[in-house]
Structure 1
């Protein structure tokens, strides 16, 4: 029996139901045709499953920006295979990843979840990832199709971009992945493009994605992105998520009965869903796409390997790194991010690993004498109450009667997906954090809360707040992911316990919890000991007495997350001041930057070394210790250009005007734009220095007689340093004659090689023909005037040039 025969056995209502979520994560089963329920889950650095809770832990790998910094599609394939393994363990058939939108501007709040500012690097790494996941028999949904490159007003923004800009930049990663990796799914974005919302965009979804590129998978909406039944069904969308209420399902069946949607269109949608089910092995009578699964992968080991490979050594004065154990007996570790590592970005990327090795943990295991001081807290919101507190969570019914209770380690509740075991969510109306707190110092204590709904906050006999707290704006995800904090001060004596209570009736609980639980509240606190100047003074004193100072700085989930864009690249809190003063006290200062995308580093020239670790995943500290000691080389290269100052960036606009965000810069984003300006960035695209030096000895280019391949570059490099190492050889194509309509140069290919000291290695780079073409007059055209191929270590450090018109080489 084939899929069309199965479809004939289904009535209209069943077919329509198959195209709508039955709940937040799944599609309904149809036992009559042997179809099991199809389960989806968020990625992209771990597999959450259908429960977002620490009780169901997941492997947490480094951020997608870190994976892109490895410049290694095969490593990305290994990551995909591990995630497929995790998905199968959790009963997940479809991974909602990878995110291949571009870093149009460094202010994009979700850029840690995307790969790069460059479409080729993004496409090749994304293709490796998709291959790996689907090697394991699990589907991917490449997202967010298309131009979801910022978060501001992402539900409603209309991106205005011309055909050339869309084709050469924003569509390009999707095209590469569709043609090279054959993904089984694509996710339609929230935003509109040139007047049509993406879930209804027939010219892009049906015309380009399916008809032109040959995509044969299913298209699923981003969650709640589907607006209109008829337009979405005719515009290419197959599945509307989440359920149980969507514009598909019964509404779609009625649209067919009314003659607004042809039943043949619904049958085509159902066919694509059944094809997906067959591929992932949940449709009886059909062989799954993958019969033999890859060998199991150890999650801890791969997490550490990817992290170390992704770390970018930005500079290393006097070759301080790797550390000599005889000269680094006493190590000062400083910064809030050293103890409380930010291992992943906020939003749909969040998972809960079974164990996290913080930078402080890793360095304590690696070095005999480590002293820690907080120095500067990067958080702009109060930390959850925890120290010197004995807390419980309490679930209450509509009469204030206790439904259930349990211990709470700190003042924070996150019930995402389901309530704790033993709690009947239908009875819950309010949730409370309650217990006793004993101040360490006499003086001003600051308490704060985060939570939307009806609030009562008391400390002792004092009611600090009793009122409703409503969200601002019309984006619910922004309200959840970038919540507003309310603070209150109260004087308390040291050593005397006091009762604290934060009770919240969350929005949406007036009639109890129904299909999906989402309760998030925080009771925060800081005391007199949190004075920023006292913290920095203690850190400076420790640094002055140490052989080496390691300062870990970074962003927080209030400054870099899904749901909102950034307003500045400056590090939050007094972290810059901490670095300046530590560097003045100890010239052997190493700064570790724990951020998912660019930040300002005004102190960079004043410290001995700067190491970028991205959001490094669960093995953060182990990888950091290995790299600092030289057990592993920091193998990363920047996938995005880093500005010195926010205002220097060529593209900063993320705020729509009258609902529209105009990509007036055209194809000039990232390094393409920086090359046109007079201001130098802090670090160029492709930069990273490792622990050894490389000489570029020769380059050749062999043209290809192939409609898809321009030719093959062969580059010989020699390890000129004293250590074994890895080099990422980068090839850039440039017009042979200046052309103001095109960038000065752009990435055309790359390859990594390894070599022992004094040994040579050969990099072979296949250059796609598309690299030498432009989109003009409705098609791809060979650019006039010829090209040169420039090879080197970054877009700004080019060592050899091959003139493709005559084959001559210059160094």
Structure 2
């Protein structure tokens, strides 16, 4: 066991400052004279990008072969904690074999807008689902003695001006949506590192955000690892160190080290601050080296098959009139260049050099399917090719069914820039028209990292969302198209009918270097469900080749006070004729309306696999936090009192069972008391009502607007409304009440708020 504090005492100031930045793009510095080794980091949310000596950030130079798993957009659609742990463990195995110590990922940023170019690398628009899956990913990787770096903390929700934009977010929205997407993963999975984001948050760069990196991440959530910058995210290095950002990457050619050392020498920064950063770094550095086995390897074929199983559980059957699954006897026209040149991963820093890529054409050939392939369009251009379309239509006429392989080319969505629309390329739209005009049985298979608009959905029989399915995408698609397994993925994001239906449309990507999160907590389905804006496909939606029945919803108690937990049980029966998986979703609807809330919010989920005719009892546990909203004024989570509705569904728009629940929440706090406090804001507090009645009893006849407050009959809506919004000071204007009496009233009300 190394004595880290003794080591720090033996280090020079320059050595300590140097440890806080990289040696090159992917490796930290070593201090050989003291036996302090370097650690190696690499991109890897869905596959490693380990490079040799010719290192770069965006993958211009090839990385060593690694398994390319589905990207986070697809992974989240599996809603499978088990699969995410398996994937994380596989990444850990490959990292050990490559001599890596930290994998940069997963990404837990909220999908605020479907236009974000990096949405393929993030899990969900919902913070509960995002954080639960991120935690599973981290647990899997770190179970192999390899660290995870949870990213990008926080509010990195667009690529446009990502290194300078200031995300302006109110405190309640920040806590309930954008920080909640990270919180569970930090508290429950304990990532070795957290990566700070490029952007600013409410004025401060995330790389030097004291409140974000220290007050919340460490002091509130208990994070014990080190914070690493996103590559090139550092603004002011010394400020970043003081805020809690320990490691800057990549190597800044020594200048930043000198800035830190100078700040300590000149007394601008206490050396204890630097020592604390070095201690955090050393504990992870030694932990990583102590966990590394002497000989490590991985089974590339086993990982390829794992990628296949994960991919087929991540794909979502959006629409189906019975055309799917296909039969081996059918003649199939496979149309679209993605069938031979699959888009199976996103663009940018997460680009993986796959060990091998299995195309749909190869998978169909291996199963002796009866098919004919037509290119249909060119991936590398958007303009239509009439000859390709004509050939495709001719082939479709002579087939029993046409399978169109469509999607977004990498140039349409990538790290570094955002999309400007939701449409497929023009040549694919004209291809859909050409084929559906002559073939009544048409299936669309999609390859994309984020939602697209589908004005053509009514023209086709089935739509299979393949997302970016990793290197085994072809085999996974064939498994689903031909019914080897039933589709089981469900959307982890809302597909809007059009871009204008998205709640952030008017606030994205902002103006200049400022983006206002004006939609507040109403992101994704929270907006669609609350404002009754019909989506194209709702959050949680996904079809199956089986049918599932929901029955016998029970709650472990009729009331809930937050002191213990509440168990929600439901029976799920597979009433179909094949084995299949269902994702059961629990939503809570806060009907107290204590504050503006979404119509419902996801508070639990489970994935259950059932044989034909089998029934399983699914139990989901709710805690106090699930019922709370964040009170920014008091900097605390508050549980309201009143009625909630527990909803169990197959999607946010397919609620099968409901049950009401009475909640005994927190005592209503008094507002800040001054002469401008409204009467209506005091009426929810019994003590305040008592004080008001005592002070105002003798003038009640002068003010009919006090009737409701005084509990009198005969008050009308106008008087009630005027009384509700009457400031205390205005009582003087409408009655014989005096300033002296108002002062005495305020003192008595303030006494109620005193501990």
TM-score (norm 2): 0.83
Match of 1:791 in 2: 648
Determine which of 81, 86, 89 is the counterpart of 1:81. 89
Q: Deviations over 1:678-711 (max 9, x none)?
A: 4311100000011111111111122599968642
Q: Distance in 1 between matches of 2:530 and 2:603?
A: 19
1:113 Cα offset (Å): 0.2
Question: Matched residue of 2:662: which SS?
Answer: coil
Match of 1:568 in 2: 421
Q: Distance in 2 between matches of 1:768 and 1:213?
A: 17
Q: Deviations over 1:47-91 (max 9, x none)?
A: 111245557211100010111000011110000000011111111
1:736 Cα offset (Å): 3.1
* Preserved CA contact (<8 Å) 1:303 1:619: yes
Is 1:304 aligned to 2:308, yes or no? yes
Determine which of 88, 91, 96 is the counterpart of 2:99. 91
Match of 1:578 in 2: 431
User: Gapped runs of 5+ residues in structure 1?
Assistant: 282-286, 382-529
Match of 1:665 in 2: 519
Question: Matched residue of 1:591: which SS?
Answer: strand
Alignment of 1:398-417 (within 5 A): none
Match of 1:324 in 2: 327
Q: Distance in 2 between matches of 1:654 and 1:664?
A: 10
Q: Distance in 2 between matches of 1:658 and 1:639?
A: 30
1:360 Cα offset (Å): 2.2
Q: Deviations over 1:549-592 (max 9, x none)?
A: 11011111211111011100101231122112212211221100
Q: Deviations over 1:249-300 (max 9, x none)?
A: 222111111212111111111011111112212xxxxx54999999978211
Determine which of 559, 573, 594 is the counterpart of 1:718. 573
Q: Distance in 2 between matches of 1:169 and 1:315?
A: 30
Q: Decide which moves more: 32-41 or 798-807.
A: 798-807
Question: Matched residue of 1:586: which SS?
Answer: coil
* Preserved CA contact (<8 Å) 1:379 1:573: no
Determine which of 577, 586, 602 is the counterpart of 2:455. 602
1:321 Cα offset (Å): 1.5
* Preserved CA contact (<8 Å) 1:378 1:575: no
Q: Distance in 1 between matches of 2:440 and 2:591?
A: 45
- What is the RMSD of the two structures over their aligned residues, measured on CA atoms? 2.2
Match of 1:42 in 2: 43
Question: Matched residue of 2:605: which SS?
Answer: strand
* Preserved CA contact (<8 Å) 2:591 2:642: yes
1:149 Cα offset (Å): 0.6
Q: Distance in 1 between matches of 2:296 and 2:8?
A: 29
User: Gapped runs of 5+ residues in structure 2?
Assistant: 53-58, 665-755
Count of matched residue pairs: 651
Question: Matched residue of 2:125: which SS?
Answer: coil
Q: Decide which moves more: 611-620 or 699-708.
A: 699-708
Alignment of 1:451-466 (within 5 A): none
Determine which of 169, 172, 196 is the counterpart of 2:177. 169
* Preserved CA contact (<8 Å) 2:560 2:662: no
Q: Distance in 2 between matches of 1:80 and 1:151?
A: 26
1:99 Cα offset (Å): 0.5
Question: Matched residue of 1:787: which SS?
Answer: strand
Q: Distance in 2 between matches of 1:48 and 1:9?
A: 35
* Preserved CA contact (<8 Å) 2:226 2:246: yes
* Preserved CA contact (<8 Å) 2:88 2:139: yes
Match of 2:637 in 1: 780
Q: Distance in 1 between matches of 2:468 and 2:605?
A: 24
Q: Distance in 2 between matches of 1:655 and 1:541?
A: 43
Match of 1:251 in 2: 259
Is 1:648 aligned to 2:652, yes or no? no
Change (3 A) 1:568 1:247: farther
Structure number having the greater helix percentage: 2
**Greater gyration radius:** 2
Match of 2:203 in 1: 195
Q: Distance in 1 between matches of 2:499 and 2:23?
A: 44
Match of 1:3 in 2: 4
Match of 1:758 in 2: 613
1:370 Cα offset (Å): 2.0
Q: Decide which moves more: 330-339 or 157-166.
A: 330-339
Highest RCO, 1 vs 2 (Cα 8 Å, sep ≥ 6): 1
Q: Distance in 1 between matches of 2:250 and 2:591?
A: 51
Q: Decide which moves more: 255-264 or 663-672.
A: 255-264
Change (3 A) 1:747 1:249: same
* Preserved CA contact (<8 Å) 2:592 2:641: no
* Preserved CA contact (<8 Å) 2:384 2:430: no
